[in-house]
């Protein structure tokens, strides 16, 4: 069995991190078998090296090795690319085409970004993994293939499965052996080694002396988070090699090429004026409450007014004192003016022919829906209800009931305390 060090030299892998060495060791051990392998890790960590090692050290090394970027193939054509198609299977299929699984028979297929596969393609792939069978697009004939599958992804598969974007049974078939490559920020001792290797390569490529980092620049290089991992490090080394005339690179020069890393700034965070999704959600909730309350109040108003028209104000005052107080205001019976409420109920309705003494006589109750609609419209004109006023009223009452305690008032209203503070400031309710 080939050693880890010999394998790294053969495939030009730089680094001595224990996690990296363990990943290469697992690739060497699994290579002689035919079991499927799933390589995981962030984008840019070098996942494409692992399937090359597995293929080169396997008994399939003389067969074909095909690397497929699943995320780069359109959803409408990926089945044709992987499994082939028959002539006339779809528009533009002018001839029969062999897919990758047919071409790579006896070899290895590397499915990069396998987490991006459409669900329909995942079903076809599962069949290949289970019994080596596939069907071309537009065909009914089952074909056999003997292919070793190595897949890679930077997607968190547990989340993708939970969201229904990836089949759980396919995941377990692919990940018979799971090889994880660590991100570059967890390989501190390897970062400068890789940079020096890239600097030497680009110096040779562009026929100029390789760049060198000063001590403080090395410390900055190691402390940086490297969200793009090895790919980002390589790009930075190439930019500096081409653009800088001085070959000794200071920390200030290096820092000018490094984009701000997320979470790396020591500056105070700035609170954005933009509203978050949670703010919009809580505002929607309180608006819904206001609208429902307005609808209920309007229904109660219709009910009371119609009863006043039918039975006369005195009887309704006796039967529905609570309902009257709810609509016309007042906390208790002593504060409520029944005469004023009765006077409001006897306001003549335009278009009904009520004028002079006739205004004191309630018209007969009608079942004509058109007339009821006219009356409802008139009530809305006499008693306009503004959404903002209703919202202010709800906030004031909640603060009164909770004796000015904003946290308790926010809980009662079903909104966040932050949103309540903003509303108090907005409506000048201090």
Q: Residue ranges of the domains in the chain?
A: 4-182, 186-257, 294-385, 386-430
Contacts 24+ apart (CB under 8 A), 365-369: 365/306, 365/309, 365/310
Measured CA to CA, the distance from residue 309 to residue 236 in angstroms comes to 83
Tell me which DSSP letter residue 277 carries: H
Tell me, what's the pLDDT at 252? Answer: 95
Percent of the chain with pLDDT over 90: 57
Q: Is residue 171 over pLDDT 60?
A: yes
Give the mean pLDDT of 275-298.
68
Give the side-chain half-sphere CA count within 13 A for 218.
13
Tell me, what's the pLDDT at 256? Answer: 95
Question: Cα-flanking dihedrals φ and ψ of residue 99, to 5°?
Answer: -90, 175
Q: Report, in angstroms and rounded to the nearest whole number, the Rg of the chain calculated over CA atoms.
A: 37
Q: Is residue 351 over pLDDT 60?
A: no
pTM beyond 0.85: the answer is: no
Q: Is residue 80 over pLDDT 80?
A: yes
Check: CATH 1.10.10 for 386-430? yes
Q: Is residue 96 over pLDDT 80?
A: yes
Q: Is residue 74 over pLDDT 70?
A: yes
- From residue 188, alpha-carbon distances to 18, 211, 338, 374 in Å are 12, 20, 82, 78
Percent of the chain with pLDDT over 70: 75
Tell me, what's the pLDDT at 374? Answer: 44
Tell me, what's the pLDDT at 350? Answer: 43
- Closest by CA to 155, choosing from 47, 268, 7, is 47
Measured CA to CA, the distance from residue 182 to residue 160 in angstroms comes to 20
Tell me which DSSP letter residue 97 carries: B
Tell me which of 96 and 306 has the higher pLDDT.
96
Tell me which of 65 and 392 has the higher pLDDT.
65
- Three-state DSSP state, 64: coil
- The per-residue pLDDT of the chain, averaged, comes to 82
Tell me which of 223 and 89 has the higher pLDDT.
223
Measured CA to CA, the distance from residue 31 to residue 47 in angstroms comes to 15
Q: Which residues of 184-213 are buried (b: 16+ CB within 10 A; e: fewer)?
A: bbebeebbeebbbbbbebbbeeeeeebbeb
Tell me, what's the pLDDT at 396? Answer: 86
- Class of the CATH domain delimited by 186-257: mainly alpha
Tell me, what's the pLDDT at 380? Answer: 44
Topology of the domain comprising 4-182 = Rossmann fold (3.40.50)
Tell me, what's the pLDDT at 190? Answer: 96
Q: Is residue 292 over pLDDT 90?
A: no
Q: Is residue 181 over pLDDT 90?
A: yes
Tell me, what's the pLDDT at 36? Answer: 96
Give the mean pLDDT of 278-285.
61
Instruction: Specify whether the CB–CB gap between 90 and 81 falls below 8 A.
Output: no
């Amino acid at each position: 069995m080939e050693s880890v060090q010999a394998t790294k030299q053969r495939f030009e892998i730089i680094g001595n991190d224990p996690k990296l060495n363990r990943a290469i060791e697992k690739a060497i051990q699994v290579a002689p078998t035919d079991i499927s392998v799933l390589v995981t890790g962030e984008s840019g960590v070098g996942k494409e090296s692992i399937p090359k090692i597995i293929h080169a050290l396997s008994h399939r090394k003389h067969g074909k090795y095909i690397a497929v970027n699943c995320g780069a193939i359109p959803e409408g054509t990926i089945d044709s690319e992987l499994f082939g198609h028959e002539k006339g299977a779809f528009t533009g299929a002018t001839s029969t085409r062999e897919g990758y699984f047919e071409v790579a028979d006896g070899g290895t297929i590397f499915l990069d970004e396998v987490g991006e596969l459409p669900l329909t393609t995942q079903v076809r792939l599962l069949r290949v993994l289970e019994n080596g069978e596939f069907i071309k697009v537009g065909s009914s004939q089952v074909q056999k293939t003997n292919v070793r599958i190595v897949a890679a992804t930077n997607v968190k598969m547990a989340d993708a499965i939970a969201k229904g974007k990836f089949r759980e049974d396919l995941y377990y078939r692919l990940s018979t052996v799971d090889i994880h490559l660590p991100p570059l920020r967890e390989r501190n001792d390897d970062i400068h080694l890789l940079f020096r290797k890239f600097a030497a390569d680009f110096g040779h490529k562009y026929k100029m002396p390789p760049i060198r980092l000063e001590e403080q620049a090395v410390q900055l290089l190691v402390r940086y988070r490297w969200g793009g991992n090895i790919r980002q490090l390589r790009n930075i080394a190439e930019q500096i090699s081409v653009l800088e005339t001085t070959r000794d690179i200071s920390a200030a020069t290096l820092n000018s090429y490094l984009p701000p890393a997320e979470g790396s700034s020591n500056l105070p965070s700035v609170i954005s004026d933009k509203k978050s999704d949670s703010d919009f959600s809580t505002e929607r909730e309180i608006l819904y409450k206001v609208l429902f309350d307005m609808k209920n109040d309007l229904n109660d108003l219709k009910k009371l007014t119609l009863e006043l028209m039918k039975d006369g104000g005195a009887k309704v005052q006796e039967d529905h004192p609570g309902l009257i107080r709810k609509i016309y205001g007042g906390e208790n019976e002593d504060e409520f003016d029944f005469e004023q409420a009765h006077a409001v109920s006897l306001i003549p309705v335009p278009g009904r022919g009520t004028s002079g003494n006739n205004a004191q006589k309630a018209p007969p109750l009608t079942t004509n829906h058109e007339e009821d609609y006219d009356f409802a419209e008139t009530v809305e004109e006499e008693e306009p209800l503004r959404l903002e006023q209703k919202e202010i009223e709800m906030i004031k009452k909640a603060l009164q009931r909770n004796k000015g305690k904003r946290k308790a008032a926010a809980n009662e209203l079903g909104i966040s305390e932050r949103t309540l503070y903003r509303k108090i400031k907005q409506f000048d309710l201090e």
